[in-house]
Amino acid sequence: MLLGIDPGTAVTGFGVVSVDPRRNMVLLQCGVIRTSPRAALAIRLKDIHEGVAALIDEFSPDTLSIESTFYGKNVRSALALGQARGAIILAAAQRGVEVAEYAPREIKKAVVGTGGATKEQVAYMVRRHLRLRTDPAPSDAADGVAAALCHAFTGRRPTLANPTVITP
Amino acid sequence: MLLGIDPGTAVTGFGVVSVDPRRNMVLLQCGVIRTSPRAALAIRLKDIHEGVAALIDEFSPDTLSIESTFYGKNVRSALALGQARGAIILAAAQRGVEVAEYAPREIKKAVVGTGGATKEQVAYMVRRHLRLRTDPAPSDAADGVAAALCHAFTGRRPTLANPTVITP
């Protein structure tokens, strides 16, 4: 069982995918954890943490596969995204679930075949791989499912890198 | 009671300061939460979260005052620092402790009188304000105490800003 996560402070997409020994894959659930833009950051992080914790408790995934995203590429948005990631990774660590991290390009390459795929292509191929009737929606949910598929396809051992060590 | 935090993935400094109604301040404890550079990120975040949670449970602070730092100013280190901040802020949110955030310059200005103060000046003034025999050590611990003092001096209401909203 895999839990794929596309992290964000406002919207965190997720997908739960079961993989049997013959590598048949079934989508069990996908969706988004939304937080209120009017809530304090602390409350938003708590909501994200609780949402992911509830998914782990319900589905007992072996691995949480998380996209290592750099939206915007500016320091402020990276700090914000890092906070959401911290809350998510913590939920896994507290429950003994291993964490695997994939760059957005790795996920696109694994799911679509090219690292430069569009969001629409990712959603379409997620649908094909899992034999869904429609594309997963919203697109954040599809990105969460794609993170799970990437781990299923590449079968990589968890390689969550240590971050740059920050010594004041 | 105030808990001041200088966050970091490798070393998180903290200081616990009691403030009585006449604004007399006493340092109850200071130190650092160190994580192993060899541990996986998930484990390091768990250790930081547990360390902060234990301090909150022991001292029941009214406010957690956290430095909003941008070391290095690059996206990678900001993401890493954000993850540590997420784990820390979450520990407060889960226990109903309000979170106040101060920029490094605000803390230096409140404690030393100038936003451009050196680490040594901060440690020295922390010592003077709290009538300690020696500077708090290591310097990360002094920075944690300084974050608590900043909140005590400025008495600002919590103003933890919402982060940049990241919408994929």
Would you state the pLDDT for residue B166? 35
At residue B71, the pLDDT reads 58
Cα distance between the two ends of chain A: 40
Residues of A annotated as catalytic are 6, 67, 140
Average pLDDT estimate for A100-112: 94
* Average pLDDT over every residue of B75-84: 86
Output the pLDDT for position B129.
95
Q: Answer yes or no: do B166 and A76 touch at CB < 8 A.
A: no
pLDDT attached to residue A155 = 72
CA angle B115/B120/B126 to nearest 5° reads 75
> b vs e for A114-152, b when ≥16 Cβ sit within 10 Å of the residue's Cβ?
eeebeeeebbbbbbebbeeeebbebbbbbbbbbbbbbbb
- pLDDT, one tens digit per residue, over A41-88 is 999 999 999 999 999 999 999 999 999 866 556 787 888 889 999 999
What percentage of residues in chain A have a pLDDT greater than 70?
Answer: 89
How far apart CA B51 and CA B141 sit, in angstroms, is: 14
Say yes or no for a CB contact (<8 Å) between A37 and B165.
yes
User: pLDDT band at residue A158, thresholds of 50, 70 and 90?
Assistant: very low
Q: Which chain A residues contact residue B86 at CB under 8 A?
A: 45, 82-87, 90
Kindly report, residue by residue over B101-136, the tens digit of the pLDDT: 999 999 999 999 999 999 999 999 999 999 999 999
Look at residue B87 in the predicted model and tell me its pLDDT.
97
Cβ neighbours, 10 Å, residue A6:
26
pLDDT higher than 90, residue B3: yes
Instruction: Give me the mean pLDDT over the A142-156 stretch.
Output: 91
The answer for A160, left when phi > 0, alpha when psi is -120 to 50, beta otherwise, is: beta
Length reported for chain B: 168
Active site residue B98: no
**pLDDT band, very low/low/confident/very high, at A167 (cuts 50, 70, 90):** very low
pLDDT tens digits, residue range A5-55?
A: 999 989 999 999 999 888 889 999 999 999 999 999 999 999 999 999 999
- DSSP codes, A78-145: HHHHHHHHHHHHHHHHHTT-EEEEE-HHHHHHHHHS-TT--HHHHHHHHHHHHT-SS--SSHHHHHHH
Put simply, the answer to whether B75 touches A71 (Cβ < 8 Å) is: no
Active site residue B6: yes
